[in-house]
Amino acid sequence: MHLLYSLGLHLYALLLRLVAPFVPKAAQWTAGRQGLLAHIRVTLREETAPLVWFHCASLGEFEQGRPLMEAYAANHPGHKIVLTFFSPSGYEVRKNWPGAAYIFYLPLDTAANARAFLDAVRPRLAVFVKYEFWYFFLTELQRRQVPVICVSAIFRPEQAFFKPWGGFFRRILSRFTHIFTQNQASVELLRAAGITQTSVAGDTRFDTVVRTATAPPRSLPLVDAFTDDWAPVLIVGSSWPEDIAVLTPLLRQYQQELRFIVAPHEIEESTLRQVEATLPGLVVRYSQADAATVAQARVLLMDNVGLLSQLYRFGHFAYVGGAFGKGLHNTLEAAAFGLPLFFGPSYYKFQEARDLVERGCAFPIASADELLTAFGPLYHREEARLHVQDISLDYVHDHSGATRKIMHWIGEVVKL
């Protein structure tokens, strides 16, 4: 099984190199790993401070791990954080994040790379966020007796870990010193599979979104000007083309009553033009707007990154993209502001989305007609919208505190 695992990773890397001339993300992934270990060795060669290693797959996992990184830095000011990413979507956006002393791509998971990386980093503690389970890195950490934890993990019965043939994957999980899960169901799955070093801490993203929602707001004068007439606002976050197709009838039906802020997941010209075609002449791109043009528009199209979490405070409703394709994006950012949520049908892998649907705060839809049907009662009945707001805010605040629980465990168990 080791051979198949290694072969699969090498074939994956080879495929990315082959498509790199045609796929920008593949090119970034490949270029970011050229000479990577030598770069890490040279960068860390003179470092004498204790280092702790945090690893995130991509940008979503970074936001999940961010409150824990910030809490760790506050509690251990003499230590430094080494942050790695697997995906360019995380690294390219956060490569200059000031909360980490060093930020790198993660080398490909081979036995030699794991030894070389850990020789250079020499971590006192390793923290993997949510989904990353790399056999050789975890095996080498265990061999060196470096404590390694997984945080905000969530597991489902259909995963390979819990299949009769999943012994190799269960051995990967056994390498963790402790696994902190989002829910009790995950703990029960792990224990039934023989993985007992686990407990429920919750999802650290709740701590992030609560802090964002309660912090002094960032100044966004163009968005202030866009919403200055006090019309209700629908925020469309992390949309894909499939989401815009479903949203188009709603945008057209409510164009005289609502304002819309649309933040696509990927800012490509074809995507931006699709949004512009929904309400011709009434869409303005954020990068091209001024106070006069946004006041005349009905759709503010965000052709930048990094502002979405701040935009939800301007909203009355939210649509979160991804659930017609690869997977639902972050719903908690909108829920932290109490916004009624709409999204596509593929949401079952996300505990918080299921919770919000069960509580009547979120409304999965499978078509444009279903979206219009679900949206109408909340738009026309203010008391219904405010009721959703109260339930959503209570849910988010009740589920915060995972960071505190994990930091308590680190303080009690890990000798730093």
Q: What is the mean pLDDT of residues 50-71?
A: 94
Give the model's confidence band at 1: pLDDT under 50 very low, under 70 low, under 90 confident, else very high.
confident
Q: Which residue has the higher pLDDT, 218 or 367?
A: 367
> Rg (Cα) of the chain, in Å, rounded?
22
Summarised one tens digit per residue, pLDDT across range 299-327 is 999 998 889 999 999 999 999 999 998 78
Summarised one tens digit per residue, pLDDT across range 189-211 is 999 999 999 999 999 999 989 98
Closest CA to 13 of 37, 36, 33: 33
Separation of alpha carbons 69 and 62, rounded Å: 9
Separation of alpha carbons 250 and 248, rounded Å: 5
Separation of alpha carbons 273 and 244, rounded Å: 11
pLDDT at 2: 74
Separation of alpha carbons 404 and 412, rounded Å: 12
∠ Cα 83 87 91 (to 5°):
45
Give me the long-range contacts of 27-30 (CB less than 8 A, separation at least 24): 28/88, 28/91, 28/92, 29/87, 29/88, 29/105
> Residue 195: how many CA atoms within 13 Å on its side-chain side?
28
Closest CA to 193 of 227, 231, 166, 158: 166
Q: What is the mean pLDDT of residues 356-375?
A: 98
Summarised one tens digit per residue, pLDDT across range 15-37 is 998 998 999 889 999 999 999 99
Look-up of token digits 């011709």? 280
Classify strands 341-343 and 198-200 as parallel, antiparallel or unpaired: unpaired
State what percent of residues in the chain have pLDDT above 70: 100
Closest CA to 341 of 323, 305, 223: 323
Whether the predicted pLDDT of 172 surpasses 80 = yes
Give the model's confidence band at 132: pLDDT under 50 very low, under 70 low, under 90 confident, else very high.
confident
pLDDT at 306: 81
Separation of alpha carbons 327 and 130, rounded Å: 15
- Buried (b) or exposed (e) across 364-374, using 16+ Cβ within 10 A? bbeeeebbeeb
Closest CA to 86 of 141, 154, 16: 16
pLDDT at 414: 85
Whether the predicted pLDDT of 62 surpasses 80 = yes
pLDDT at 310: 93
The model's pTM is 0.82
pLDDT at 59: 87
Closest CA to 300 of 236, 345, 240, 364: 236
Whether the predicted pLDDT of 3 surpasses 90 = no
pLDDT at 117: 98
Question: What's the mean pLDDT when you consider all of the chain?
Answer: 94
Separation of alpha carbons 159 and 397, rounded Å: 30
pLDDT at 41: 97
Whether the predicted pLDDT of 243 surpasses 90 = yes
Name the amino acid, one letter, at 201: A
Q: What is the mean pLDDT of residues 115-140?
A: 96
Q: Which residue has the higher pLDDT, 369 or 63?
A: 369
Whether the predicted pLDDT of 89 surpasses 90 = no
SS (H, E, C) 146-210: CCEEEEEECCCCCCHHHCCCCHHHHHHHHCCCEEEECCHHHHHHHHHCCCCCEEECCCCHHHHHH
Give the model's confidence band at 395: pLDDT under 50 very low, under 70 low, under 90 confident, else very high.
very high
Whether the predicted pLDDT of 131 surpasses 90 = no
The answer to whether 205 and 64 are in contact (CB under 8 A) is yes
The answer to whether 99 and 70 are in contact (CB under 8 A) is yes
| Number of continuous H segments (helices) and E segments (strands) in the chain | 20, 14
Whether the predicted pLDDT of 60 surpasses 90 = no
Give the model's confidence band at 239: pLDDT under 50 very low, under 70 low, under 90 confident, else very high.
very high
Q: Is the dihedral of CA 154, 358, 62, 415 positive or negative?
A: negative
Region for residue 327 given its phi and psi (left: phi exceeds 0; alpha: psi -120 to 50; beta: otherwise)? left
pLDDT at 229: 87
- Buried (b) or exposed (e) across 251-278, using 16+ Cβ within 10 A? beebeeebbbbbbbbeeeeebbebbbeb
Q: What is the mean pLDDT of residues 383-389?
A: 97
